[in-house]
Amino acid sequence: MKALGIEFAPLNVPLRRRLQTLSIGFTTSLMTVLPMSSWLIMFCLILFSPFWLLAVLYLIWIWVFDKEVCEKGGRRIEWVRRWKIWKYSKEYFPINIIKDSKKVELDRKRNYLFCSFPHGLVATGAGIAFGNSHSTFQELFPEHTPHILTLRQNFLMPIFREYLLSVGACAASAKSINFLMSKPEGGNVALLVVGGAAESFYCKPGQYHLVLKNRKGFVKLALKNGSPLVPVFSFGETDIYDQVSNPEGSLLRRYQEWVKKITGIVPIIPLGRGFFQYSFGLLPQRKPINVIVGTPIDVEKVEDPTQEQIDSLHATFIKHLTDLFEEHKHKYLEKPEETFLVID
């Protein structure tokens, strides 16, 4: 139904779909509103509540005594990962994890570095696919535990850090990755969204523009730990949001780049939908996201890898990622013949 140019949701939407929309609204708020409101909550607790001392002690604890937990495997809470809200959020799109082929098997005695593309605006597909117990990850890889990697500075934010830790997130730092990849008995999967915030600049429906050519740190860490690299591609990730136009050189783009340089976060203005209408809002569009897990690239351990070894493995990884995209785009994209992978 349309009115004044706005497409409204019908009144007879099934309850389950309403629950899915409510759930994705909650999870979207966790990643967008909670980081900013965390500081406001702490400010109010310290200045206007009788719990000011507890709030101050909490800040001291997270910044002095607990600041390293995000680089030592995190502190997941399975009860949180089992919340039904993640199940409804997964169904909203829906989001599916799919093996590239039957060859995609993980050795339970080894640790793996999953390298996910594209980032999109907030890495929704990878976040929901690997960040809760309602995805099919444990069915596909029952011997391994997933750890989503995100910016180290996110774990300095009060309250928000507790959410990240509870769902199994760790810092996307060399120290953190080395810790996860050095587990003697194996069984860890670290999920790194390699393109990071820089890739969100290029997030547009139907476009797959990756930031990868000069990102080789993950390759060096894989070599130093002897950890296989696994290309992961989320088809549909860039379709769930559009964004306000920000071409290079524009005032908005310069502002976004300035904020990114200071905070590591890009203040994107998303164009999505609302709870009761489909024309505008902060909720993602209902578009399927298919997360394809590629065949692991075996990596031999090298204590001090040379630049030549790093470049060689990096080139191999790009080839595997490109092949993965080309092999599956005809199945998961609406216009595969018009869609190409751009790697910068």
* Maximum Cα–Cα distance across the chain: 64
Residue 5, in any domain of the structure:
no
Residue 291, in any domain of the structure:
yes
Yes or no: say if 236 and 334 are a contact pair by the CB < 8 Å rule: no
The CATH code of the domain that includes 327 is 3.40.1130
Residue 3, in any domain of the structure:
no
Q: Give the C-alpha separation, 285 to 93, whole Å.
A: 8
* Residue 2 pLDDT class (50, 70, 90 cuts): low
Q: Residue 82's domain spans which residues?
A: 13-343
Q: What is the pLDDT of residues 131-153, one digit of tens each?
A: 999 989 999 999 999 999 999 99
Tokens of 268: 């994107």
Look at phi and psi of residue 73 and say left if phi exceeds 0, alpha if psi is from -120 to 50, else beta.
Answer: left
Q: How many domains does the chain have?
A: 1
Rounded to whole angstroms, what are the CA distances from 238 to 90, 203, 206, 247, 323?
16, 6, 7, 17, 19
* Residue 7 pLDDT class (50, 70, 90 cuts): confident
Please say if the pLDDT value at position 265 is more than 80: no
Residue 339, in any domain of the structure:
yes
Would the pTM of this model clear 0.85, i.e. be above it?
Answer: yes
Please say if the pLDDT value at position 111 is more than 90: yes
Please say if the pLDDT value at position 8 is more than 80: no
Residue 313, in any domain of the structure:
yes
**Angle between helical axes of 84-92 and 15-48 (0-180°, round to 10):** 120
Rounded to whole angstroms, what are the CA distances from 273 to 5, 80, 145, 298?
14, 27, 34, 42
Q: Residue 5: its pLDDT value, please?
A: 66
Buried b or exposed e, range 107-145, using 16+ CB within 10 angstroms: eeebbbbbbbbbbbbbbbbbbbbbbbbbbebeeebeebb
Please say if the pLDDT value at position 4 is more than 80: no
pLDDT, averaged across the chain = 91
Residue 285, in any domain of the structure:
yes
At 276 the three-state DSSP class reads: coil
Yes or no: say if 126 and 232 are a contact pair by the CB < 8 Å rule: yes
Residue 268 burial (C-beta neighbours within 10 Å; 0-12, 13-18, 19+)? buried
Residue 84 backbone phi and psi in degrees, to 5:
-65, -20
